[in-house]
Amino acid sequence: MTTTDEPAKELIEELEIASKELINKVTGYAENKSEWSLRKNQDGVTVYQKKSTDFPGMMFKVEGIVDASPELIFKYMAVTPTSLRLQWDKRIESVEQLDVVNPTTNLMRTYTRSELAGVLTARDFVDLITTMETTNYLATFAVSVTLEKYPPAPEFVRGFNHPSGIFCYGINGEPDKTEVVCILQPDLRGNVSSLLVDAVMPSSCEEFYRHLRKFVANKTQI
């Protein structure tokens, strides 16, 4: 698909439709209580997995409590060029805004650092990211898209996020606590085996929550 520098009306309409489909799909994954297998339960982080229906890999569901309000955690989770997430999520190198679809939906390119002593090289992801607020949660949803005008960045391997999301649920009677639920479907591509991804994901998820909690604790002390 070829587009001009400004997103064409047809593309905007396609992305708005895709964002609605994304929300419905990921919300369904989060609400589905069956078919999940426990993979890891450590330090207040529980990781489940099951076979994905979106690609030949695994889908992960992660749950954990963080000591801050849903509004604050939602702010810390935002994926934008100036987001506070860049201060605590060690995997993200930088974020570039590519297009604005509507006030709650954007195209973003995320650059990640190499990991596992260079075994996993740096990736870039072009994601359709949309946010949503309900009476029960604040949420961010993401899915990668393929557009000709946004080829892989030099020296980066193009990764792909299948329908994913992060939900920030309030806890009754505890306004300064949030249940954070993540639905993750990373497809790192390149020469990385899906078996390797599946093997490291539980520890990577636990580390994600640990860094978030540490950041929240430091902010609270200031």
Q: Let me know if residue 4 belongs to a domain.
A: no
Q: Are the C-beta atoms of residues 55 and 25 closer than 8 Å to each other?
A: no
Q: Let me know if residue 3 belongs to a domain.
A: no
Q: Let me know if residue 153 belongs to a domain.
A: yes
Domain that holds residue 55: 9-221
**pLDDT averaged over every residue in the chain:** 92
Name the band, by pLDDT with cuts 50, 70 and 90, for residue 180.
very high
Question: What does the angle CA 165 – CA 168 – CA 170 come to, to the nearest 5 degrees?
Answer: 155
Spatial CB neighbours of 170, under 8 Å, sequence gap ≥ 6: 69, 70, 136, 137, 178, 179
Q: Let me know if residue 1 belongs to a domain.
A: no
Q: What is the pLDDT of residue 83?
A: 94
Q: What is the pLDDT of residue 3?
A: 40
Give the mean model confidence (pLDDT) for residues 144-157.
93
Length of the chain: 222
Q: What is the pLDDT of residue 2?
A: 37
pLDDT in tens, 97-139: 999 999 999 999 999 998 766 567 899 999 999 999 999 999 9
For 204-221, give the DSSP string: HHHHHHHHHHHHHHHHHH
pLDDT in tens, 56-85: 999 999 999 999 999 999 999 999 999 999
Percentage of residues of the chain with pLDDT beyond 90: 81
Overall number of domains in the chain: 1
Q: What is the pLDDT of residue 124?
A: 96
CATH code of the domain covering residue 33? 3.30.530.20
Q: Let me know if residue 2 belongs to a domain.
A: no
Name the band, by pLDDT with cuts 50, 70 and 90, for residue 9.
confident
Q: Let me know if residue 93 belongs to a domain.
A: yes
